[in-house]
Chains A and B, each alone.
Chain A
Amino acid sequence: MTLQRKFHQYLWVLPVVILLSFLIVLPLFWTVWLSFQEKMVGGKAIFTGIKNYIDILKRGEFLDGLWKSLYFTVPSIFFKLLLGLAAALVLNNPFRGRNLIRMWLFIPWTIPRFAVAIMFIWFFRRGGGLDLLLYQMGMSDTPFWLGPKMVMPAMIFVNVWKGFPFFMVGILAGLQSIPGEVYEAAAIDGANRVQTFWRITLPLLRNVIMILVVLSTIWTFAEFDVIYLITQGGPGTASETLPILTYVTAFRLYNMGDAAAISVLALPIFLVLILSLVKLTGRR
């Protein structure tokens, strides 16, 4: 193969690769560079070494944000998987109106995140949707859902509402690729429904579920729109997960250096998740 032909092959991907290098890889390095600078918005950058890192670790805001991110992500993934799996298992059996129900349950996934956030601002506010429903059911003594105690569970609720359909359709696709003979064989061997599920269905779904979980963990850990629109990280810093903390530090406190340091510290978490996703999808 001549050198020229070798180069020609790369022309196919060249525009995309150049564009993404400029818009993702280069900014990534710039972020690392910024994290070693003292820089306010509009101000000059001064090199200060690891001072920003020491500051955000000393003041405890990074670990605090990390903890909130975990507290938000882990239960969200658990409930999305649980509800998605339950819905998929039920929808895998034929019954009348199945397509209609599948469409209905899929709707939350189709609504833009910013619209979901606004819907839930009304739902969770004082005297809002949830309070009015509970009031009609005779409960008038309700907590403030977006107050310091309830705000994280409320955010998890929104995330599960929006995200479980993704698990549902993913698992459903996985279930439908399992050949019927497998189940027939199990039935002949006298396995009951529960045994079939644990011994056959779940192991065959393993790979699909792993991919869905890793992918959804990346998205949930990086969730910005919904939390920021509903709470701006508040009340106080009660819902300040890492993405919110980064944004607030950069654009409300105007401290670019600290914000860059926070993103850089968050980066390894995402790199590990993304690498395992690349590995999982490469396994055919």
Chain B
Amino acid sequence: MKLSLTWRIVSIIVIVGLSIFVALPLYWTFTIAFRPNMDLFTRRIIPSKFTLQNIKDVLLSNNWGGFESVPFFVPLLNSLLVASSVTVMSLAISIFAGYGLARVKMQGGQFFESFILFSYVFPPFIIVIALYNFLHRIHLYNSLFGLMLLHLIIVVPYSTWTLRGYFLTIPQDIEDAALVDGLSRVGTLLRIVLPSATPGIASTAIFSFTLSWSELLFAMTIIDSYEKFTLPIALRTMVIGDFVNWGNLMAGVVISMLPPMLFYLALQRYVVSGLTAGAVK
């Protein structure tokens, strides 16, 4: 179908309009992170000069704008530790569950699939009070291990569901041949399927990481002392006080949003797979 003139004009309006809409807050975030703080007092929109001072201040100085007893790299490292541990723990059990749901015929398999999907979209705020009491009981309140445990609630259903979808897209012939040759199901998964499924598993791992990396509610509820803070709650302390150091704050925002952003953009084609895959085909 030929593109008419009206269609072209409408398209251009949509693209330009949406691009500006997306740019508005991003423009401010990046310019404030890389410009002198003084700029903001002069109502300038265009930065007067480019500087890495804010990034340096946040990462290196004790006076980074949040609580002063702990430097910024502590929450940064905590977040890295929590997110990578959660990713590994979750993959260890999700690979088996995802593969089992995709390939092994079991009675009630449909029920388990629905249960995983249910867990995936279940809103954590409903159970946060019970979890808070639960962690107190088992003495894991204010502990990073306790936080990891709670992050599994979000990450495990996600990765099980996504891996199941991924395994379903892999052709089954080689596996069948391996099974006929007498290899067990587990052997087939570990020796035949996993090596060829690396892209799917890698992208699942990366998105699992970002889910834990971005989690706020559980961290806010069960982490109490500054040296155990993760990034989201550490950045929150920078906006609570009377004076906000916007340069440092936006530098912190840029540092914490860059890893997920780059992951997503690099792996864009995997993003929608999981849930919509079934509907799209």
Does A associate with B in a complex? yes
Q: Which residues of A contact B (CB under 8 A)?
A: 6, 9-10, 12-13, 15-17, 19-20, 23-24, 26-28, 30-31, 34, 83, 86-87, 90, 93, 95, 101, 103-116, 118-123, 129-130, 132-133, 135-136, 161, 169-170, 173-174, 177, 183, 187, 193, 196, 207-208, 211-212, 215, 218-219, 221-222, 224-225, 228-229, 243, 246-247, 250-251, 256, 259-260, 263, 266-267, 270, 274, 277-278, 280-282, 284
Chain A hits for B60, CB < 8 A? none
Q: How far is the CB of B134 from chain A (nearest CB, A)?
A: 6
Contact B125 A263 (CB under 8 A): yes
Q: How far is the CB of A223 from chain B (nearest CB, A)?
A: 9
Q: Is the interface of B mostly helix, strand, loop or mixed?
A: helix
Contact B235 A208 (CB under 8 A): no
Chain A hits for B149, CB < 8 A? 23
| Residue from B93, B250, B265 in contact with A122 in the complex, judged by beta carbons closer than 8 Å | B250
Separation of A147 and B42 alpha carbons in the complex (Å)? 24
Chain A hits for B121, CB < 8 A? 215, 218-219, 274, 277
Q: How far is the CB of B250 from chain A (nearest CB, A)?
A: 7
Beyond A23-B150, A266-B126, whether A6 also contacts B107 by CB under 8 A is: yes
Contact A112 B260 (CB under 8 A): yes
Chain B hits for A212, CB < 8 A? 276
Give a binary string over B1-22; 1 marks a CB under 8 Å from any A CB, 0 the rest. Answer: 1011001001100110011011
Q: How far is the CB of B5 from chain A (nearest CB, A)?
A: 12
**Taking each of A23, A169, A211, which has the highest tally of chain B beta carbons within 10 Å of its own beta carbon?**
A23
Contact A161 B21 (CB under 8 A): yes
Contact B130 A280 (CB under 8 A): no
Q: Which residues of B contact A (CB under 8 A)?
A: 1, 3-4, 7, 10-11, 14-15, 18-19, 21-22, 24-26, 28-29, 32, 43, 45, 93-94, 96-97, 99-101, 104-107, 110, 112, 114-119, 121-134, 149-150, 152-153, 156-157, 160, 210, 213-214, 216-217, 221, 231-232, 235-236, 239, 246, 249-250, 253, 256-257, 260-261, 263-265, 268, 271-272, 275-276, 278-281
Beyond A114-B214, A251-B221, whether A256 also contacts B281 by CB under 8 A is: no
Chain A hits for B268, CB < 8 A? 103, 106, 169
